[in-house]
Structure formats: C-alpha cells, structure tokens
C-alpha cells in the first residue's frame, strides 16, 4: 500500500467571483473529509484549497492507494433463536448468514455475548478497504454535490444529448496520486494530467502536470496562473498599492 500526495482539479469557465473563496474551501474540505472517512487519508492529512477564476482544486497530503481492511461486527440474533437444542444452526440463522454472504461454515466462528439474561450471536467479517479510484470518485461526487453554488446552470455535453447541471460548464478534470492518474469521472469528463493556464498569458495551450506536488509551480511557470486564492489576492493588493504609491 503506497502513500502519495493527491491533486484534484476541475477546470471550468469563469466562476462567480464573490463565491469563489467559499467554493474552493467547500470543494477541498468535502473531498478531504470523504477520503479520511474512507480510510484513504489519515486524520493528520493536510488539505490545501486552490481556487482561481477558472478552476477548483485541492492538494491533499499522505493519501493511500488502498485503505486498510476493516473488521465489522454483525449482531445476528439471540442464541435461543439461532441454535437448536443440539447446538446446530436453525434455518433462521442460516438465512441470516446467507444474507451476509457466508454459509454454514461461519457458525463455528460466531461469538456469544451476554445481553441481560440472554446471549446474542455475533459475526465478525472483514471488509476490504476502499481502492483509491473508488474512493476519489465517491469523494468527488460528494464535493460537487455539496458545493454552495449560488445558481446552477444546465448545459449539454459534447455528445449533443447528455445534459448536466453545474455552476459553470466544466472543460477539464485532473486527478493525480503522486505522478499516477487516478481514474475518476465528473460532469462528462475523465480525469487526466493535462490542464490549461491563463487564456492569454500562458506560454503553452496545455500544461502537462508531472505530479501532484508540481501543480502550483507548473501552473505559475507555464500557465501564468497563481493557483492559491490567498496568494493571488495578496499579489493583487501588492500591485494596487504599488500603482497607488506616489511616484
């Protein structure tokens, strides 16, 4: 199980400027919390929101390629209902086990636990940990659905038939775990490693990202874009103050 930093970016048309900060923070927070709840990101993982007028992105540290398996305890039924006088499983117990995906061979592994004056049967099962592709897809779906969007718009995808709803038309999706592309899908887009820089000042039409950690620097060097909302705002303030200073 390998651990790398994760970068997810959704490239869109110009977002509402007054809502941009909240949109970026919500996108990052929901995506990160979902990955933590699935066991793919540790509780100490750091999620950095990155939002510019044409993109929502998040960089999350220490994301695993596969979550650890989990033991789940299932409460079945009272012993008096699940086992007959000879200790053999009753039809009711066998039916319950079958519903959990196991057969009569699991009876030997059942645990008894006292509840008041009676005993109850319990079964422990191992649930495989979530794979990264599945986990990111789930987290991305939640992040997009939970955005505090001022107003949704409906637009058609390139197939001419499918319609989707989002705050603005989306044109690109990036998902990188280290240097590897994470397979996920949103708003008619499949994830890759290519994004776009500034409409007019970018040095190239597409920026091919090396890995999750190179995102901000590549976007700045090749795309003439400051990905951080806070850093871009600080730079605007600096330029305004410089322009207003006495000559």
DSSP 55-102: EEEEEEEEEESBPPPEEEEEEEEEHHHHB-TTSPBPHHHHHHHHHTT-
Segment 88-93 shows an average pLDDT of 92
Q: Do the beta carbons of residue 209 and residue 191 sit within 8 Å?
A: no
- Give me the percent of the chain exceeding a pLDDT of 70: 100
Identity of the highest mean pLDDT range in 20-29, 63-72, 123-132: 20-29
CA–CA gap between residue 15 and residue 145 (Å, rounded): 16
Tokens of 156: 């058609």
Between residues 204 and 184, the one the model is more confident about = 184
What is the rounded CA–CA span in Å between residue 238 and residue 247? Answer: 16
Burial call 121-155: b when 16+ CB within 10 Å, e when fewer: bebeeeeebbbbbebbbbbbbebbeebebeeeeee
State mean pLDDT over 91-100.
92
Over the chain, what is the mean pLDDT?
Answer: 92
Tokens of 236: 């605007």
Confirm if 74 and 125 have CB atoms less than 8 A apart: yes
Chain mean position to CA 123: 31
pLDDT digits (tens, 9 = 90+) for 107-159: 888 999 887 778 999 999 888 889 999 999 999 999 999 999 878 889 888 88
| 207-219 tens-digit pLDDT | 999 999 999 999 9
Contact 51, 8 (CB under 8 A): no
The values of phi and psi at residue 240, to 5°, are -65, -45
pLDDT of residue 144: 95
What pLDDT does 24 receive? Answer: 95
Residue 51 has pLDDT above 70, yes or no: yes
Q: What is the pLDDT of residue 222?
A: 95
The arithmetic mean of pLDDT across residues 70-92, rounded, is 90
Q: How far apart are CA 134 and CA 6, in angstroms?
A: 14
Q: How far apart are CA 210 and CA 25, in angstroms?
A: 24
DSSP string over 124-137: EEEEPPPBHHHHHH
Instruction: Determine the pLDDT at residue 150.
Output: 75
| Residue linked to tokens 């997810």 | 8
Residue 71 in tokens: 């033991």
Helix, strand or coil, per DSSP, at residue 241: helix
DSSP-derived pairing of the beta strands 207-208 and 194-195: antiparallel
pLDDT of res. 108: 87
Task: Give the global pTM.
Answer: 0.82
pLDDT of residue 115: 76
Is residue 28 within 8 Å of 55, Cβ to Cβ?
A: no
In the prediction, which pLDDT does 1 show?
65
User: Per the structure block, which two tokens stand in for 60?
Assistant: 């999350």
């Amino acid at each position: 199980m390998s651990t790398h930093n994760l970068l997810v970016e959704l490239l869109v048309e110009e977002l509402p400027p007054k809502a941009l900060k909240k949109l970026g923070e919500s996108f990052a927070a929901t995506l990160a919390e979902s990955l933590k709840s699935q066991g793919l990101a540790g509780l100490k993982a750091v999620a950095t929101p990155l939002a510019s007028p044409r993109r929502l992105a998040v960089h999350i540290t220490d994301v695993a390629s596969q979550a650890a398996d989990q033991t789940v305890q299932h409460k079945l039924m009272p012993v008096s209902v699940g086992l007959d006088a000879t200790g053999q499983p009753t039809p009711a117990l066998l039916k319950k086990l079958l519903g959990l995906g196991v057969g009569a061979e699991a009876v030997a592994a059942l645990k008894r636990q006292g509840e008041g004056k009676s005993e109850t049967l319990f079964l422990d099962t191992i649930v495989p940990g979530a794979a990264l592709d599945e986990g990111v897809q789930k987290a991305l779906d939640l992040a997009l659905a939970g955005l505090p969007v001022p107003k949704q718009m409906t637009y058609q995808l390139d197939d001419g038939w499918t319609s989707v709803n989002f705050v603005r038309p989306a044109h690109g999706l990036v998902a990188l775990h280290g240097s590897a592309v994470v397979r996920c899908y949103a708003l008619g887009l499949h994830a890759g490693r290519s994004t776009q820089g500034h409409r007019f000042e970018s040095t190239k039409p597409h920026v091919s990202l090396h890995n999750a950690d190179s995102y901000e620097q590549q976007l700045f060097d090749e795309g003439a874009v400051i990905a951080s909302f806070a850093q871009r705002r600080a730079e605007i303030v600096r330029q305004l103050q410089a322009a207003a200073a006495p000559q």
